[in-house]
Amino acid sequence: MNKTSLQKSISILALLASALLSTGCSTIIDARKQKQPYISSYYSGNIDKAAKDLTAKSESRNDSDDELMWRLDQGTANFTVGDYQQSINAFKRCEVIIADHDNRAVINARAGGAEVGAALTNANALPYKGMYLDKVMLNAYKALDYFALNDPSAAQVELRRMRNAQKHVVKQFAEEIQKNQKEIDAQNQKNQRQSTKNTSISFDDISKNPVINDLYQSSANKANKLYGNLSNPFVSYFSAIGYLMDNNYGEALVDFRNLYRMLPENKLVQQDYVSTARKIGDRIPNELSHIKTYDYPLDQKMAYVLLFNGRAPALKQEKFQIILPYVGYTGIAFPRYEYFSSALQGLNIDYLYQGNKRSVQTEQIANFDAIMSQEYHEKLPGMITRLVVSTLTKEIASFAAVQAARNSGNDGAVIGALLLTGTYKALFNTADTRCWETLPQEVQIAHIPIPDNGLINITPLDASQTTEIKLKNNTNNAIVFVRALSANKLIYKTFETQ
């Protein structure tokens, strides 16, 4: 190997080492694999271990680009285990990280550095800023934390933040899609300038690939268009609960009206909408005129049963083969949602009210498969195009490095260059599978008046074991939170406000 080739090889090695050091673990080992033991503990019901380990892991990932991902799961795991203050602390840290990204200058050195890292490695080098759903759900969990700590005033603050976040995500999302397309166009142009072949790539071209076409179609099928604009019906329902607890029927009606638009066939939403509208003398749609109002007030002496059912979809790494200029067939790693079946069909609730035995079942309010798939589906064209363009960029650079070695006439240099560039490409062909894995697959809700004797009997629809919840005598409103990690792992919590 001559001196020049050696210097080049050392430079590439140095570049690789610094890329590795600066971009973190997820650039090589995908996040899903890294989180597997923690998530496995959580869903197998070993929630104490999951909470403890996720807390320790989050601390060790402090200030890293992946910190937000770990903190979100730390927050839910600690909520599930009942360490509400720890959960609040984790979510507060999430808010700080998200705000830090939101408040950065439009063109900032850190983002520039991360982009360079991502160009050299993969999308995992970019800081994880959270999915749009994450930004809304973290305040929902914080509100639950404060209800659990019997601090309804603080919970109301979180509900307002949740509503605010819901409003903002739609706007931010549209801006992000636009920004991504600009970046893809710029990179396409840059690649074209460095190449003699046609290297311009569009999603229309890529979507001819059967894997990508299937991916695009299946995510479209999963996404529920009725929800629209990344809206989360659970957020609207939780918001309405907050307003009703505050005796604000007017604002609750706005939420129920939106929910009716999103879930027109939902019986619970229909009756909530009609009862709230009639209470304040607002008009109701003709098609709902036959719906009866509840025979109990919605703003006091109420118990809400929230079922957080099953496991939300999680991103996993897959590869698709594509023909690219210079390299021919190449496999590109990409993230794809894996869906899980729900843990329970629902819950049956028995109680005594005004001397009569009554029964009600929970109804699905939000399907997280649909909500998360919608965001994924909308982002998919940009994400896949970006991956292909980035792969092509690396291929062009590798091609140039090997070509330079060939021009030196030294066989050793050529072998060295091929080995280095091959290792480099294989090492960093990792999909960005970072996501919040401890969210539920769906949320089901029911509400009842506070029973005469304060007793609520809850039975899963597909099981016979009943759990009895006893409310305190002076309870004004209660939230009975049921986390179904699996069909056999149910966690019951009761939050009461006086």
Partner 1 sequence: MTHKIISLLSISLSLIILTGCGGTQTRRIDATSNEGLVTTDDINFKDWQIAAEKGINSLLESGVLNRADGRKMILMISTVKNSTNEHIDTRILTDKIRYALLRSGKALTTTAIGGNGPDDRASRQVRELDQDDMFNQSTVKKSGTAIAPDMSLSGEIVQQQASSGRVRESYFFFHMALTDLDTGLAIWEENVEIAKQAKKPVFGW
Q: Does 107 bind partner 1 (CB under 8 A)?
A: yes
* Residue 301 in the binding site for partner 1 (CB under 8 A): no
Of 3, 63, 103, 283, the residue at the interface with partner 1 (CB under 8 A) is 103
Q: How far apart, in whole angstroms, are the C-alpha atoms of residue 166 and residue 497?
A: 26
CA distances from 37 to 28, 75, 318, 389 (A): 18, 17, 20, 33
Q: Which of 46, 156, 207, 271 binds partner 1 (CB under 8 A)?
A: 156
Q: Considering only residues 56, 85, 104, 250, which one is a binding residue for partner 1 as defined by CB under 8 A?
A: 104
Do 384 and 206 contact (CB within 8 A), yes or no? yes
Piece of 97-105, 202-210, 307-315, 402-410 that binds partner 1 (CB under 8 A): 97-105
The verdict on 105 binding partner 1 (CB under 8 A) reads: yes
Q: Which residues contact 35 (CB under 8 A, 6 or more apart)?
A: 69, 73, 437
Residue 466 in contact with partner 1, rule: CB under 8 A: no
Judged by CB under 8 A, the stretch of 148-156, 201-209, 322-330, 461-469 that binds partner 1 is 148-156
* Of 109, 198, 286, 292, the one binding partner 1 by CB under 8 A: 109
3-state SS assignment for residue 330: strand
Q: Does 101 contact partner 1 by CB under 8 A?
A: no
Residue 390 CB contacts under 8 Å (≥ 6 apart), including other chains: 118, 119, 122, 123, 187
Stretch that binds partner 1, among 164-172, 259-267, 278-286, 295-303 (CB under 8 A): 164-172
Q: Should residue 108 be labelled a site residue for partner 1 when binding is judged by CB under 8 A?
A: yes
Strand partners of residue 366: 443
Which residues, other chains included, contact 459 with Cβ-Cβ below 8 Å and sequence gap of 6+? 347, 348, 350, 465, 466, 467
In this structure, the number of other CB atoms found within 10 A of the CB of residue 216 comes to: 18
- Beta-carbon contacts of 343 under 8 Å, excluding residues fewer than 6 positions away, are 309, 310, 311, 441, 484, 485, 486, 487, 489
Candidates 31-39, 153-161, 330-338, 487-495: pick the segment binding partner 1 (CB under 8 A): 153-161
Closest approach, Cβ 390 to partner 1, in A, equals: 25
161 makes contact with partner 1 (CB under 8 A): yes
Instruction: Say whether residue 21 binds partner 1 (CB under 8 A).
Output: no
Farthest CA pair distance, the chain? 95
Residue choice 160, 261, 278, 425 for contact with partner 1 (CB under 8 A): 160
The phi, psi pair for 243, rounded to 5°, reads -65, -40
Strands 302-309 and 477-484, bridge-based pairing = parallel
DSSP tag of 63: T
**Residue whose tokens read 């360490």:** 83
Region of 154-162, 220-228, 303-311, 342-350 interacting with partner 1 (CB under 8 A): 154-162
Residue (100 or 214) nearer to partner 1, CB: 100
Shortest Å distance, C-beta 109 to partner 1: 5
Q: In angstroms, what is the minimal distance from the CB of 65 to partner 1?
A: 16
Asked if 85 interacts with partner 1 (CB under 8 A), we say: no
The residues that touch partner 1, with contacts defined as CB under 8 A, are: 103-110, 153-154, 156-157, 160-161, 164, 168, 171
